[in-house]
Amino acid sequence: MISNGMEEIKPGAVYTTAETQQLLKVSKSTIKRLLKRGLIRANKIGGQYRILGHELLMLLSPELERKAARQYFKLKHNIVRKINKW
């Protein structure tokens, strides 16, 4: 988890655009631009965007995301290998 000084961004949490704006300390137009360019992936529900904390963490720390992905695939490979032995 990454803290922005005030609040911690939780990977599994769901944030509105207003909450995301506060967490990232950016303007409303910046959030719109990030969404439009696909730098933050979001789901639109009832006409409003919902953004996973995981997406914000990827934006703030892509290296952390790559490290987590490598660990996941390493674990997955080990599990598949053990299952195939059975």
pLDDT at residue number 85: 84
First-to-last C-alpha distance (Å) of the chain: 37
**Predicted TM-score of the model (pTM):** 0.64
Does 8 fall in a domain? yes
List Cα–Cα distances, 84 to 22, 41, 44, in angstroms.
48, 35, 40
* Mean pLDDT for back-to-back runs of 10 residues, the chain (86 residues): 65 94 93 89 93 89 72 85 87
In a domain, 82, yes or no: no
Would you say residue 24 lies in a domain?
Answer: yes
Which pLDDT belongs to residue 65?
Answer: 65
In a domain, 57, yes or no: yes
Structural domain range at position 6 = 2-61
* Residue 83, domain member (yes or no): no
Q: How many domains does the chain have?
A: 1
| Residue 78 domain flag | no
Looking at residue 18, which CATH number applies to its domain? 1.10.1660
